[in-house]
Amino acid sequence: RVASMMGERADGMEFPKCLVRDVVDNLIYIAQGDVPLNKDGFRIFQPQKVLKYYPICNDFGPMNLATTTRFIEMIEDEIYDFPDHKILFLVEPGRRAFANAVYLLGAFMILRLNWSLSETEKRFDWLDQNMIENFRDATFSEPFFTLSVSDCWRALDRGKKLGWVRYPSESSQELWGMINIDRYEHYDNPLNGDIHELVPGRLFAMKGPVDVPAGHDYVDDRRGFRLFGPSFLARMLGEMGVVAAVRLNSPEYTAALFEEKGIAHHHLEFDDCACPPPAIAAAFLRLLP
């Protein structure tokens, strides 16, 4: 159930010219490169043509919760529609693409197959660190902290145990645990607020607003980015039950407009693209309910 071929790089070091691995009991395979397989009996699966990560700077993942759940739905559909085929997840070239693919398959194992973290990690014990790249922050600077694929799986496993995220029931397909995926996708869209639910019903993150001309909820700049005004976002957040907002970066909006909507506003600014100083981090944690 394992196939690989070796080639040579320009510097003389060996690298996998192609790789095929069985990761789910002769049903789902992951592959990268010029795969030397007779395709008969295999269903080529390339979700990356639909599911993409859109970087801000030099970041490349991990995929957010909406993309994770859509991947699970897509691979389920493949299995259902092609019951006599093995699924071959053919990954684009590169360590970053392979890292995202491995993460998504592990998420399928944890959330859909209900496998434990240890069983999921065991299915990828062949994985060499040189084959993938750890996830990094959204800057162009050299990262001082990274996340491994296992870190991301551990977070999903923890969220599942807390009931925050889990495979939906037949009666409520859009509700993955405590997360409404349709709503998550709507507000995740930069045209609808760029708001991300981190802890269900308790903690959201979003791009900071800017002061916009009177009578406008937002403006679209010449680059095509949508910039929302504080009044509009405060009204939207109030409908979500948000009671406090924390500004972490440079002030570009009038904080009093949040307070007018009944949302307390706190100022904990620090340099953009930098880690918060210990005092800022401690103050932020004290604000959490």
pLDDT-based confidence at residue 38 (cuts at 50, 70, 90): low
Closest by CA to 234, choosing from 210, 262, 195, is: 262
> Tell me, what's the pLDDT at 221?
85
Helix, strand or coil for residue 181? helix
pLDDT-based confidence at residue 129 (cuts at 50, 70, 90): confident
> Tell me, what's the pLDDT at 288?
86
pLDDT digits (tens, 9 = 90+) for 177-216: 999 999 999 999 989 989 998 999 889 999 899 999 999 9
pTM of the model: 0.88
pLDDT digits (tens, 9 = 90+) for 140-183: 888 888 999 999 999 999 999 999 999 998 878 789 999 999 99
Closest by CA to 246, choosing from 205, 212, 278, is: 205
Identify the residue with better confidence: 127 or 13.
127
Residues 238-243: what's their mean pLDDT? 92
pLDDT-based confidence at residue 139 (cuts at 50, 70, 90): confident
Question: Which amino acid is it at 154?
Answer: R
> Tell me, what's the pLDDT at 52?
86
Closest by CA to 205, choosing from 214, 193, 196, 218, is: 196
Residue % of the chain over a pLDDT of 90:
69
- Residue position matching structure tokens 């507000």: 187
pLDDT digits (tens, 9 = 90+) for 53-110: 888 899 999 999 999 999 999 999 999 999 999 999 999 999 999 999 999 999 999 9
Q: Which residues contact 263 (CB under 8 A, 6 or more apart)?
A: 234, 237, 238, 242, 243, 244, 245
